[in-house]
Each structure stands twice: as structure tokens, then as C-alpha cells.
Amino acid sequence: MLYCIIGEDRQNSLSARQSARPAHLARLQQLKDQGRLLLAGPFPAIDGPEPGSAGFSGSLIVAEFDDLAQARAWADADPYLAAGVYAQVQVKPFKHVLP
């Protein structure tokens, strides 16, 4: 089943985000290589694709896991959470309808 992982950045997290990004992306690449990643990306803190020093307000990951507990465990091990980028993380079941 698909699950949404929604991480909300804490204030002034850009430096921590940049430091933890390689490890974060490596885990996402593993999901992609396993055919389990539908999409992933950050929410720019301003209305534009390159927010610069404004940074990001959070991230969205939609991926396949066996169940909610497995999705939550994966989210809890995210390098962004360990680095203090995320203030909180939500994990929710997701039903892909379109496209």
C-alpha cells in the first residue's frame, strides 16, 4: 500500500537540511531502486522552485510499504529527523487515483 510521509521543517533548518541531504537522498534512492517510490520532494518556503536562503517548509514522500507500522518506522529513521530538520512527521495511508 502507498503511504504519504509529510515532514514539517522547524524554523531555520536550512543548514541542517543541507548537511543531512546526501543521507536523506540515499535512502530515497534505495526506495526508488526497489520500485517503491512514487514521488518525493521538498516544499519551498516561498513561491518559487529555488527558494535560496528562505529554505523549505517541509517535504513529501509517497512510497509503498507493507503497512503503516513499516512506513512509520522508515520515516522515524530519516536522517532529516535525526538532524533536527523536521519538527514533526506525519505518516498517512494514501490511495493513488489519478493520473
What confidence score (pLDDT) does residue 29 get?
98
Is 2 in contact with 63 (CB distance < 8 Å)?
yes
Q: For residue 49, what pLDDT is reported?
A: 84
| Predicted confidence (pLDDT) at residue 17 exceeds the cutoff of 90 | yes
Q: What is the pLDDT of residues 23-54, one digit of tens each?
A: 999 999 999 999 999 999 999 999 988 899 99
Q: Which pLDDT band, with edges at 50, 70 and 90, does 15 fall under? A: very high
Flag whether pLDDT at 79 surpasses 90: yes
Cα gap 35→18, rounded to integer Å: 26
| Domain residue spans of the chain | 2-46+54-94
Question: Mean pLDDT, to the nearest integer, of 53-79?
Answer: 97
Class of domain 2-46+54-94: alpha beta
Dist CA 56 CA 8 (whole Å): 9
Average pLDDT, rounded, for the chain: 97
Q: What pLDDT score does 80 carry?
A: 98
Contact 21, 7 (CB under 8 A): no
Beta strands (DSSP E) in the chain are 2-9, 37-44, 56-64, 86-94
